[in-house]
Amino acid sequence: MASAEKHHILERPTFDKPAKLLIVVSPYYKDIADNMVAGAKAEIEAAGATWDLIEMPGALEIPTAIGISDRRSNFDGYVALGCVIRGETTHYETVCNDSSRAIQLLGLQGLCIGNGILTVENRKQAEVRADPADQNKGGGAAAAALHLIALSRKWGSQSKGIGFKPASENILLAGDTDGNTTA
């Protein structure tokens, strides 16, 4: 079993306008999921934010649920919670890799997601990581989502003028004869 080494924890972010998060959990291992949800709820509430909760059958469905929710709702961020315990087949690697990769891709698209899907060798490791009084990975995932929301709000209205410009802007810029472009 891995030792719980001390590590630095960032101060909880503060918000001018309360944040609203969706906790998406797979209760495949219900007792572990319940502990992770308890830790996530406590962290979200301590930041003055609100939460809603949905359940999915397994870890592979969590990113899809987040993607659907992002397109059809108004959450500021998401907390992905679940547990995958290594078994006798390669299914473990598929579930761990694909759920993690999908969550990362959603994050790179701008979604604020705290990934708390545990990937462990055995039940004891999961119990220690899920326990709010021990490693509290549910609370840690919620904290990650809150920090991403704070960053998104900080820079949300700023633009560096990068990316594609409409064709009409390119024509205007091409007609500028003094070598300066204004975008």
Active site amino acids: 91
Nearest-angstrom CA–CA distance, 154 and 135: 29
- Position 166, amino acid: P
* Helix extents (H) in the chain: 30-46, 61-72, 91-108, 123-130, 137-155, 167-174
Nearest-angstrom CA–CA distance, 61 and 37: 17
Candidates 33, 64, 58; CA nearest to 130 is 33
Is residue 119 within a helix (H) or strand (E), and if so which, with residue range? strand 113-120
Q: Rg (Cα) of the chain, in Å, rounded?
A: 20
Do residues 103 and 138 make contact, with C-beta atoms less than 8 angstroms apart? no
Do residues 119 and 111 make contact, with C-beta atoms less than 8 angstroms apart? no
